[in-house]
Amino acid sequence: MARRPLPRVLSKDSAQIARTQIARSRELARTAADSATDVLQPLITVSRGLRLLASAGRRRWADTPKDKRGPLLFFVASLVLAVALMPYGPLLAVIAVMAAAAWHGRDRTPAAPEGPDESQAQRLQALYEALVPYFSSSGDPAPMYAHGGEWDKAYAAHEFDDAGRIGRLVIRYPAYFPDGEPAARARIEQLLTAKAGRSREYHFAWEEAGNQLTVTALPPLPADIPAQRFVTAPGETVLGFTDPSEVQRTLPLSYGEERVDVPPVVWRTGIRSTEPHLLAMGHPGSGTSTLLRSVAIQALQYGDVLIVDGGGTGEYACLTGRSGVLAVECALAGALASLEWAARETERRLIAINLARQAGDPPPPDTRRPLWILLDRPSVFAHLAPADGRKDPQVLLQVPLRHGRAANVTVVVAEQFDSAESLTDAVRQHTRARVVLGSAAPEQVEAVLGAPPHTTSTTQVPPGRGYARLGSGPVHRLQVPRTPDPYDDATSDADRQAVLELLPPRATAVEDEPTALSKPAEVSKQAEVSQPAAKKAPVPAEALAAEPS
């Protein structure tokens, strides 16, 4: 039997070339269609007119009474005979019919108004008057902004949406305005947001060289993209999706019954990553747990995951016992034991890699498999540890945070704004990839990301909506893919099935575990183990949850 050749997987370069060729083909087809329409426009107009004249003739014949149809038919026949006998009669008749067809077949679409209507002009004038105190000066001999002035001199371009609201506006401002000061910019952006409508998000682009400010109303990011397998390489994690103008890459996704290309925010980890660790901040219900669940599902494709849930709400119970999940810890004792093992595992990997490099050998295989440490709300353990006479589990993160990139260890921490002061200096310094979710104040977003966003946020945002910044890069709008807890009763059947299909199979069934693990004495004894085996999962979270804190 002849073997069928396997399908060739396109490389990144070949895929880019293919996309470029498809884009060029579409552009050529669109250009050819426009050219053909321009050339055949007279023929199209005459054909449309002939069709209208024929329809009018049929309606006139149908409306004529039957007793008068005979004389009418005799009159038309006589007229045709007279035209045929006249010199140049047929030619003149054809010209007259073509002229009538061209007149009736002309484009009767009313021309769009060249300028804004009365309501739009009033809106632009009101916005102009509101900008006068900020863009005017008493010493300006020819002020661009003055009370009662003309707004058309201050706006280079303006566009409105279907609802009559401002969609895009290019504002000129005088050169003496301090556009390099963040406070001055913030005042203008706040004013424009209030006057243009607070229910939308706006992007502000300051062109300091040309003294122009471009305000664009952004469409809302899709909040209903379900969790699915993303087309990414090992070491790439999709945090969410952003605007098409912010990134140069798209991912093919299943969006309902269609396949669409959506621009993602891709976080790269590993040895060559400049942002090996991630910090996510938000308010309760903002979607930080959803982000960690999405990251965990993607990490399980190529590595092992250790989860420490400080909230203890069972958000990660669906990952317990899965292949590649080392542990899902919800108690203080289990969290300390697991993080202590993670610190020693990081040291072991560093030593093994160093010895292999000294011997001129490649790193051992067990050091090349990524290890992910996910912590949700470590501030809860920071509060319980002193009361129980134990150390803060965040202290054990210093080694994975400082040396995790070389050891292929990645740390992801999620915390709420009201407990941000409990984060240690190691977590603050070594988490260069930052995410802020939920409705946060601009000062909070800037404090976490290190730079203010160039867009405004609305008061009502869906879960998983926020901003992301990778290292010293730009600030992106972010929408986390919908990855709810499949064991939650509020989760729909479609979302539950989508998440369960992405989870790896269970390594060992929960009902087949030894019953001795359910005893508190055995659980405490197991939690005191300082260095568990790398391929053996720690104590299950269900057993440790029974231990009193």
Binding-site annotation, residues for ATP: 282-289
Identify residue 129 by its one-letter amino acid code.
E
* Range 429-464 burial, b when 16+ CB lie within 10 A, else e: ebbbbbbbbbebeeebbbebbeebbbbbbeeebbbb
CA of 63: how far to CAs of 24, 39, 59, 68, 540, in Å?
54, 38, 6, 10, 87
- Give the residue carrying structure tokens 């290309």: 261
Residues belonging to the chain: 549
Region at 351 (left for phi over 0; alpha for psi -120 to 50; beta for the rest): alpha
For residues 325 and 537, the answer to whether their CB atoms sit within 8 Å is yes
Nearest in space to 343 (alpha carbons), one of 394, 268, 383: 394
| Pick from 392, 378, 391: nearest CA to 311 | 378
Contact by Cβ (8 Å): 196, 127: yes
Numbered residues of the known binding site: 282-289
The token pair that represents 281 in the structure block: 């901040």
In order of 25, 161, 213, 356, the CA distances from 216 in angstroms are 30, 11, 10, 55
